Structure 1
Amino acid sequence: MASLFNRSGSYYAQFDDADRTPKRRRLSLRTRDKRLARQLLHRADEAYRLGTFDPWVSSLDDLEPERPAAPLSVSEAVADYLGDRADALRPTTIIDRESVLRRFTEAVGGAVPVARLKADDLKPFCLAPEIAEGTRRKRVAYVRIWLKWCKAQGHVTDNVGALLRTPRKVDPTRSVHRKAVRLVELNAICQEAERAGHTWKAQMYRFTFYSGLRVSEVARLDWRDVDLDARTITISEQKNRRTTILPISQKAAGVLAEIAEEADRGHVFVSPLQRKPERNVRAFCASANKDFTAFRDLAGIDRPVSYHGLRHGFASHLADNGASAWVVQAACRHSSIAVSQVYVSLASKTLSNELDSAFG
């Protein structure tokens, strides 16, 4: 039986079947009128139960040949795309793409028919010279993916996004070098945090640098996940959604041992003012990033390093001290050895420069 699904004011017909792949299929009803949506849903559901319509194969247009399809607007096409991909992508990915495509809609005009878009209409938003190079690459990629979906749905005949010239990629070693927090910078930032009376934040920064955890993993870390005797922690919600037992460095364990003297249950990193045991991980991460940036500025560090730069610093520190790409990959849990190789290559370049400097 089909059900009605609403996303951002647009209605969809939702079909569920555990024996099909994917198990759930959503088709846009192309209306924001609930009454009309229910009528269209009833027609689709009846055809589905009679076996004359398969939502996994056909589109709703096949049920309504007599109704001329109105030109789909950019805002409608974006809403349809996000609704269709909601179950196939991670929530954070959907949020990221929704943010970019919402700005894109505002830039080109939400009422503009998507079929009338040209490459020149995309360039002011995707290739704006005042935005960062990484942001340009992201905008190009997301708009291309959206238009590719539009073409597959029959909303456009050509993916004009393919005509956009992707900005030149930054050398990953240079990018990592800019992002990685150095040990001397870590100490300066922690000193500012301690001077402001936020010792627990300084401990959190040091632990992140010496463990290489992501900020979301630090936010979720509970004392039940810590084994100081074995010097391991259990990460249950990684980026790849798997659980792993991770060995930590002696210095990272030392930070935890210092904290454990005063607390041995609940979340590991807790503000003295926190009263509720529950934690909003997203809000905690946002606050951690904001505070880190503030202490960075107070420390007089002019490089735009962020909290995530502590993880880059961990990997760079490993490579600088002779760790292989395989060790860096295992310690950081990178999905690809190529990512870990970037840090090793950076360490090799640093060594090469030092040799050139020494021998003239």
Structure 2
Amino acid sequence: MKISEAMADYFHYITAVDQKSMKTVESYKNECAHYLKALNEQGIEDMEAITYQAIQQFIDASAKTLSDNSLNHRITCLRLFHEYASTMLNCSNPAVYLKSKRHGQHLPNYLNKEDVTLLLTRQNESERELLDVTILELIYGCGLRVSECCDLKINQVNLEQALLRCRGKRDKERYVPMNENEIQLIKEYYGSVRRKWDSHRSMYLLINSRGNQISRQYIFTMLKKRCASLGLDERISPHSLRHSFASHLLDGGADLRVVQELLGHSDIATTQIYTHIQDERLKQAYRQFHPRNKK
């Protein structure tokens, strides 16, 4: 059986039977496309010709350009595909011994409050600047994932009640409060820039000058350039703003369960990583200021 045929069958299954979300299916398709290309470059086109060595060669090459988390996601996608092909299509499973890369738990990057203020301060009065600051204010002020920000629709924003209705992973819905800064920015953006750019009557809140939905790539690129121009760490990502949202709430005394709900985490253990940030800051303050720790 051709690999491309097996993949097409797999994609149909996870879409129609498993009813995976559109984002999950697209993510799996993207990973499998890289895999198929690499196998074809090795001269492999049939399922039975795939060996563990061929898969490992692809994984080793991927490890040179991907983070540990992205690499593990790719490995998971390959394992799931081969498990399906083995169970449903009677193919051999050369990925049965494929293991995820082990790595330690990394503390999230975050910004201090002064850096956040600098990042969210408008540098000029241009239309693009208003859009960019609105995007960043929503991500930091509401703790949104970048995909949630891109997918935010007009009917999910209730300015009167100061609430966002957000759809997160696995289409899980949550409500997030908005602060006055966000409300005023959205009103200004919606009444001026968006009204001017909305040539397609888009359902999305955040659109570009062509009237199209803002992309993830736009936000990543914009933030990198903005950090460079302001002298901030260029490794700061949209997710760093989400991490900062959580860290600053905990710093202010917010309950961990409340932060979990605002972030849309299913498991409290995912949220607990932010308590480690606080622990590290306490240790650093102790080492720096406690008289018995000074040499």
TM-score, length of structure 1 as denominator length? 0.67
How many residues in Structure 1 have an aligned counterpart in Structure 2?
276
Aligned 8 A contact 1:100 1:139 in 2? yes
Distance 2:153 2:112 in 1: 24
1:337, distance to aligned residue in structure 2 (A): 0.5
Q: Secondary structure at the match of 2:176?
A: strand
2:100 is matched with 166
Instruction: Name which of 129, 142, 145 aligns with 2:80.
Output: 145
* CA 1:258–1:138: 2 relative to 1, 3 Å: closer
Distance 1:153 1:299 in 2: 54
CA deviation vs aligned residue, 1:101-137 (integer Å, no higher than 9, x gap): 1111111127532123221111121132412222321
1:313 is matched with 244
Aligned 8 A contact 2:168 2:264 in 1? no
1:195, distance to aligned residue in structure 2 (A): 6.9
Segments of structure 1 that go 5 or more residues without pairing to the other structure are 1-71
Q: Which of the two has higher C-alpha Rg?
A: 1
Distance 1:191 1:350 in 2: 26
Aligned 8 A contact 1:204 1:269 in 2? no
Q: Which one has more relative contact order, counting CA pairs under 8 Å at least 6 apart?
A: 2
TM-score, length of structure 2 as denominator length? 0.80
CA deviation vs aligned residue, 1:26-61 (integer Å, no higher than 9, x gap): xxxxxxxxxxxxxxxxxxxxxxxxxxxxxxxxxxxx
Q: Percent identical across equivalent pairs?
A: 18
Matches within 5 A, 1:112-123: 112-123=45-56
1:354 to 2:281 alignment: no
Instruction: Name which of 135, 150, 158 aligns with 2:70.
Output: 135
1:86 is matched with 15
* CA 1:172–1:322: 2 relative to 1, 3 Å: farther
CA deviation vs aligned residue, 1:304-348 (integer Å, no higher than 9, x gap): 222232212111211233333212102212111111111112212
* CA 1:193–1:289: 2 relative to 1, 3 Å: farther
Distance 1:262 1:142 in 2: 40
Aligned 8 A contact 1:73 1:111 in 2? no
Segments of structure 2 that go 5 or more residues without pairing to the other structure are 207-211
Matches within 5 A, 1:279-290: 279=203, 283-286=213-216, 287-290=218-221
Matches within 5 A, 1:225-264: 225-228=157-160, 230=161, 232-235=162-165, 237-248=167-178, 252-257=179-184, 259-260=186-187, 263=190
Distance 1:261 1:141 in 2: 44
1:99, distance to aligned residue in structure 2 (A): 0.8
